[in-house]
Amino acid sequence: MLGRTGRGLLLLLAWLGALVVGYGVAGLVGGAFALNRGWLPPEAGVRVWVEDNGIHTSIIVPMAAEGVDWRDLVRPEDLRDPRFAGHSHLSIGWGDRAFYIGTPTWGELSPKTVLRAAVGSEDTVLHVGHLAEPVEAVSVRSVLLRPEEYRRLAGFIRGSFAVGPDGRAGSVPGYGRSDAFYAAHGRYSAIRTCNSWTGEALRHAGVRMGAWTPFSATVMAWLR
């Protein structure tokens, strides 16, 4: 028979399991309920994309369009190879510094990183990659925006950069030669994840999107 310690451990495991399942169900329900329900894409406008690597979602924007130019925030010298700054588009995602930098793929995910991020952190970053115009795929989906919608989206993203008096956000090199991490505003937690930020940005622009999108799947499900 189990002693008091054994029963306590089983109870703790059962509680943690119920918490994980409850969080997953809540995330799926939150992602299934749409805001901006009446939104329809225009016939012409600014095309952006959302990409999904299975953990993090990012928004891909043109380097310069409709009066929005990102070159004042992201500069060639921020990259290991400045030549990549000549690309036409940027992939931008937000998240917890340790989670983002430490988990480029599922293989790097650890329970310690997940627990730390779930509890919450003010140490957040924006991951910015330089790339050519993307091609539509299962993991990369496009959204066509009206000029005013794109400017709202860009304003939301720009507001996430923690810029100093010189108008720059501190940066460190990214995973490879063409990306970098920038200091960001905002608190990361199990409630506000990198994917929640993507959903917020799109809702702020006026796009039809789930009310709460903590998982990449709850973002991508609306982009078909």
pLDDT for 185: 96
C-alpha–C-alpha distance, residues 47 and 193, integer Å: 24
Q: Which residue type, as a one-letter code, is found at position 106?
A: W
- The pLDDT-based confidence of 102 (bands split at 50, 70, 90) is confident
Encode 202-223: b = buried (16+ Cβ within 10 Å), e = exposed: bbbbbbbbbebbbbbbbbbebb
Of residues 176 and 19, more confidently modeled? 176
Q: For residue 18, what pLDDT is reported?
A: 59
The pTM assigned to this predicted structure is 0.87
Q: Rounded to whole angstroms, how far apart are CA atoms 117 and 100? A: 10
Which of 6, 152, 154, 129 has the alpha carbon at shortest distance from 56? 129
Chain CA centroid to CA 184, Å:
12
Question: Is 136:142 a contact under the CB 8 Å cutoff?
Answer: yes
Domain boundaries, the chain: 1-32, 34-220
